[in-house]
Structure 1
Amino acid sequence: MKSKIITMIALVMVAVLAIGAVNSAPVSVADASADTNQRVVNVTGEGKIVVAPDLAYINLGVQTKNEDAQKAQQENTVKMNAVVEAIKKAGIKAENIKTTGYNIYQNYDYTPNSEVKNEYYQVNNTVNLKITDIESVGKIIDVATAAGANSVNNIQFTVADDSKYYAEALKLAMGNANSKATAIMSTFNKKPGLPVSVSEASYGGSTIYKTANVRLEMDSAMGSTPIESGEITIEATVTVGYDY
């Protein structure tokens, strides 16, 4: 009986040693070299798409001054209401008109000797317009100023949906990366295959703006304030790795 117990213990020890040997098997030299000796060419690719804007944003404002704060406010309200009604009649929908700023503060005029000459209250009221008809930007400015707006600034042109253009820019960026890798790898008689890594470096898809300046003057030939929307450049950048 004792000899049977000893035999069973010996068998268990052999099994444990066998399992331990399997779990602690060393990594082969071939596997190690595959991990540590991979050679990679990393390049940066850039792509650009130039498009015409189809959307504009404009800040219009009314500024009023009066020695009486209440009168300055009342005058501002009357003028701004007139401006809003005028631009609505010109085709701007109510949901595309948003108040972005309103403030009232006391101000002073000074003499050359830095003495206070006049004291008055100034009220500023600003609205932001979303204009979907790019060709009407100059007309809207003329309508607003005729109705009483005396501040026009920060005109921005953009595209309503730039995602499709950005996707095309990404394709161009990948092509540019491949061209760079081809040129580099040709110096040691290699060609790029499928990338081993691709990283989008530009994080695009967000709205891109182009700001324009405003000249508040009538062009008799054109019949409205001249505003040039120009073009918008949408860019994409990628980092690509090719092994060899």
Structure 2
Amino acid sequence: MQWVHGLLTTFVLILSVSASAAQTEGRLTVTGEGRVAAVPDMAVITMGATSQAETAQDAMAQTSDITAAILTRLTEFGIEPRDVQTSDLSLSPVWRNRGGNDGSPQIDGYQASNRVTARVRDLDRLGEILDAALSDGANRLGGLHFTLSDPDPLTDDARRLAVANARAKAELFAEAAGVELGALISLSEAGVAMPQPEMLGMARAADAGVPIAQGETELRASVTLVYEISTP
């Protein structure tokens, strides 16, 4: 009886070890990316004025006059106040002989600057707006980029594609490795990016002197998925 009991115990232990090996679990981490391209429907332009004069008052007055003309022009084009902002107002002396060896530095005048940033929602008039601002005295162009007024729907589409891409990778890796794909443990978003638009060609707004290339904007979403895996 003792021999039979020992054999039975050994058999149970073997079954227990085999069952434990069959249920060995691990984790599989995959990343996915989704991309959605769209034509921008809004532009953000930054422009301004810099003036130099003998006195600080004159330099600031000249810059203020140009800035006021730009703001008035933007209003005439139907750009709403919520889409316009001024920034970087500055006034500084202009030095003469600064760092030289022929005498102490002297103030040779003053320079004043101001900048205007505007969101343009009517892209058909963008070139015309820029041309008009230059005519009004703007002598600084700080930047021009295209974007989307409401990127949320397309961002969600990119996220869906990113999750589907990661899921497809997980299924492929599990099949190739000979393991079973289990439940999803975690999902995290690495981020959403909107790179600068690709310039597809030159387009000129009607009666405008500034050529504008609208191009496309691409939204990218990245996610990381972690799955349970087990040996069959």
Which range, TM-score by smaller chain? 0.7 to 0.9
1:177 to 166, 170, 179: 166
**Which has the higher Rg, Structure 1 or Structure 2?**
1
Q: How does 1:1-244 map to 2 (within 5 A)?
A: 37-108=24-95, 119-190=108-179, 192=181, 194-202=183-191, 204=192, 208=194, 210=196, 223-242=208-227, 243-244=229-230
1:40 corresponds to which letter in structure 2? R
Identity %: 27
Instruction: Report if the CA contact (8 A) 2:131-2:208 is conserved.
Output: no
Change (3 A) 1:171 1:193: farther
Q: Give the count of matched residue pairs.
A: 204
Tell me, what secondary structure is at the counterpart of 2:212?
coil
Q: TM-score, normalised by structure 2?
A: 0.75
Instruction: Work out whether residues 90 and 143 of structure 1, in 8 Å CA contact, stay in contact via their aligned partners in 2.
Output: no
Deviations along 1:159-215, one digit per CA (max 9) or x if unpaired, are 12212111111111111112212221122444545523222222x3x8x463799xx
Please give the alpha-carbon distance, in whole angstroms, between the structure 1 residues aligned to 2:205 and 2:85: 31
Deviation of the 1:37 alpha carbon: 3.7
Q: Which of 87-96 and 231-240 deviates more?
A: 87-96
Matched residues in 1 for 2:111 and 2:168: separation? 60
Q: Please say if residues 46 and 144 of structure 2, whose CA atoms lie closer than 8 Å, have aligned partners that are also in contact.
A: yes
Say if 1:212 and 1:56 are closer, same or farther in 2 by CA, change over 3 A: farther
User: Which blocks of at least 5 consecutive residues in structure 2 are unaligned?
Assistant: 1-15
3-state DSSP class of the match of 1:39?
Answer: strand
The answer to whether the 8 Å contact 2:159/2:221 transfers is: yes
Cα distance change of structure 1 residues 222 and 79 upon mapping to structure 2, 3 Å threshold: closer
> How far apart, CA to CA, are the structure 2 residues paired with 1:125 and 1:159?
26
Deviation, 1:147, is 1.0
**Runs of 4+ displaced beyond 4 Å:** 113-118, 219-222
Match of 2:3 in 1: none
Letter in 1 for 2:48: G
Contact 1:158–1:209, Cα closer than 8 Å, also in 2:
no
Give the structure with the higher percent strand.
2
Whether the aligned pair in 2 keeps the contact of 1:90 and 1:140 (CA below 8 Å) is: yes
Q: Which secondary structure state, in structure 2, belongs to the residue aligned with residue 91 of structure 1?
A: coil
Q: Structure 1: 5+ residue runs without aligned partners?
A: 1-28, 214-218
